């Protein structure tokens, strides 16, 4: 990874961070709001970007509270380079790793939405194993293992056959006009990063916000995640009429409150 670049002269211009090598090289767009730590890092969802409602709400909070906030787009998302269909959990985890190493400093608060919740957890495990655990995880409808549990296991024989034969299936979506390419590489790579088949200790407190009216990541999925996490330091908030986006004013208020409480918590954490 190249040396840390200077902050851009124009605040609306993102930092450009080179990630990957050869044909897999991509320029990552990273936006940093300077402020006090621990840094809050936004990790968006599948096909989302750092201009989404929740990410911008956190930017407003960070500006008002004087907190450091890091937002970035994975390769093939938003303002970053690369093609979406070339991405996998491994490449997007690499993007998150690079953005955190370059811009977040020690012990960040990782805020992950949907797929970003899975990537945040994988990154927290890496930080824990390196002896510098994350300060906290705040997860919104976390989609651990979604490529297998919420995609492959739900696909019928015809869809599976299309992916195996053609390497991709174009999945219709309610979140935009264009279908989403689901690739064989994405499914196969996701199996390398599964978390749900055993206990998982990220080494930091975890707060989960989950809508019970979420058709994409059912709240039972969140309950399963809580079941593999340490009891100490784990909090689950269920919103009975909450959907997958959790972007209504009341939902945003819950998210901001959870993040604000996480950065203010300065006691050492132990799950033991």
Q: What is the CATH number of the domain that holds 52?
A: 3.40.50.1820
Is 157 inside any structural domain? no
> Which DSSP string do the residues of 196-214 spell out, in sequence order?
TTS----SS-EEEEEETT-
Q: Which domain holds residue 109?
A: 15-144+205-264
Is 158 inside any structural domain? no
Q: Where are the alpha helices (DSSP H) in 104-181?
A: 115-129, 146, 157-166
Q: What pLDDT is recorded for position 272?
A: 38
Collect the ranges in the chain with pLDDT lower than 70: 1-11, 266-272
| pTM recorded for the entire structure | 0.92
Is 8 inside any structural domain? no
pLDDT digits (tens, 9 = 90+) for 247-271: 999 999 999 999 999 998 764 444 4
Is 68 inside any structural domain? yes
| Interior/surface letters 176-213, b for 16+ CB within 10 angstroms, e for the rest | eeeeebbbbbbbebbeebebeeeebbbbbbbbbbbbee
How many structural domains is the chain composed of? 1
Is 175 inside any structural domain? no
Is 212 inside any structural domain? yes
Is 33 inside any structural domain? yes
Is 195 inside any structural domain? no
Q: What pLDDT is recorded for position 266?
A: 67
């Amino acid at each position: 990874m190249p040396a840390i670049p200077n902050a851009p002269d124009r605040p609306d211009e993102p930092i450009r961070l080179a990630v990957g090598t050869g044909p897999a090289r991509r320029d990552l767009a990273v936006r940093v709001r300077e402020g006090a730590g621990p840094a809050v890092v936004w990790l968006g969802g599948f096909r989302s970007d750092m201009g989404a409602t929740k990410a911008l709400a956190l930017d407003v909070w960070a500006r008002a509270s004087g907190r450091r906030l890091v937002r970035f787009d994975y390769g093939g998302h938003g303002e970053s380079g690369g093609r979406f269909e070339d991405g996998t959990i491994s490449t997007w985890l690499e993007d998150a790793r690079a953005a955190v190493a370059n811009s977040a400093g020690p012990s960040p608060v990782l805020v992950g939405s949907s797929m970003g919740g899975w990537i945040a957890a994988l990154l927290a495990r890496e930080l824990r194993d390196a002896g510098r655990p994350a300060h906290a995880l705040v997860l919104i409808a976390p989609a651990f293992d979604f490529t297998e549990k919420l995609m492959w296991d739900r696909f019928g024989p015809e869809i599976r056959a299309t992916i195996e034969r053609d390497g991709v299936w174009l999945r219709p979506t309610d979140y935009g006009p264009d279908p989403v390419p689901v690739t064989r590489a994405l499914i196969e790579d996701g199996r390398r990063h599964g978390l749900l088949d055993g206990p998982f200790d990220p080494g930091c407190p975890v707060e989960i916000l989950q809508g019970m009216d979420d058709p994409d990541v059912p709240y039972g999925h969140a309950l399963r995640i809580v079941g593999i996490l340490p009891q100490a330091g784990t909090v689950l908030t269920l919103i009975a009429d909450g959907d997958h986006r959790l972007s209504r004013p009341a939902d945003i208020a819950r998210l901001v409150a959870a993040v604000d409480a996480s950065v203010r918590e300065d006691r050492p954490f132990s799950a033991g």
